[in-house]
Structure 1
Amino acid sequence: MTVPALNSVAWFEFGTDKPEKVKEFYGELFDWKYVLNTNTPGVTYHSVMTPGAQQPAGGVWESEGSFPNYAIFYVHVQDVAATVERAEELGATVLMKPVSDAAGFTFARLQDTAGHHFGVFSVSVR
């Protein structure tokens, strides 16, 4: 796996209660393909494969109505916990504390000082 550059926007995600509509729309508009990701038990998540890409660039998280619909970006960082701590010092609100999945991804979600929802993540190369 190629690791994205630090501090760059390197992932996007849709959280939706209408995953088939999201996948159909963006699939037809941009020729995206979808692969079921089973790394996080209890979560239905489809990785987005963009044309010509060797690895996913984003995902569609099926909410089943358990949370509001959203679309966000994620920034690749060296240390998720340290970034969350620094963001809080700068006035951000933590929406989701750091969590890790079976594939070695650690991520968290924040709200910036203007109210925008975004995420940060790191990759543990195994």
Structure 2
Amino acid sequence: MTVPAFNTVAWFEFGTDQPEKVKEFYGELFDWQYVLNTNTPGVTYHSVMTPGAQQPAGGVWESEGGFPDYAIFYVLVQDVAATVKRGRELGAEVLMEPASDAAGFTFARLRDTAGNHFGVFSVPAA
């Protein structure tokens, strides 16, 4: 398994109130498969398996109308809290403070100084 380098785009996510449409469209277009991820109780999230991949590359988060639809990328970082702090110092708006799921992944979402929504995440310690 190849581990992405820190500070590189290593995940993508769709947030949608129409998850079946999103999954069908990208499944047909790119031959993506989906696996239910149960690491965050109360959240319906499907991990995206791209052709030939041994691990997920992204996800589809079912918003149930709780927020506008979006598609964003996530950058793998060593320390989510430190990255969020530095982003704030550089003028970013924090949209979601750092949070961790049951598997130990930590993630946060920000809006850059040009208004673009993106995320950062770190993996559990080995």
- Confirm or deny a common fold (TM above 0.5): yes
Give the deviation of 1:4 after TM superposition.
1.9
SS of equivalent residue, structure 1 residue 22:
helix
| SS of equivalent to 1:120 | strand
Report the TM-score when normalising by structure 2. Answer: 0.97
CA RMSD of aligned residues (A): 0.9
- Residues 13-53 of structure 1 show CA distances to partners (whole Å, capped at 9, x for unaligned) of 00000000000000000000000000000000000000000
What is the rounded CA distance, in whole Å, between the counterparts of 1:89 and 1:112 in structure 2? 11
Question: Which residue does 1:40 correspond to in 2?
Answer: 40
Percent identity for Structure 1 against Structure 2: 86
Shift of 1:2: 4.6
What per-residue deviation string (whole Å, max 9, x for no partner) do you get for residues 43-98 of structure 1?
A: 00000000000000000000010111000000000000000000000000000000
Letter in 1 for 2:62: E
**Any idea what SS the aligned residue of 1:48 has?**
strand
TM-score (norm 1): 0.97
| Gaps in structure 2 of 5+ consecutive residues | none
Aligned residues: 126
SS of 2:22's equivalent in the other structure is helix
SS in 1 for 2:84: helix
Aligned residue number for residue 114 of structure 2:
114
User: Gaps spanning 5+ residues in structure 1: where?
Assistant: none
The equivalent of 2:86 in structure 1 is: 86
What secondary structure is seen at the aligned counterpart in 1 of 2:27? helix
Tell me the distance in 2 between the aligned counterparts of 1:118 and 1:101: 18
**Which residue of structure 2 lines up, in the alignment, with residue 8 of structure 1?**
8
In 2, distance between residues paired with 1:111 and 1:105? 20
Q: Deviation above 6 Å: which 4+ runs of structure 1? A: none
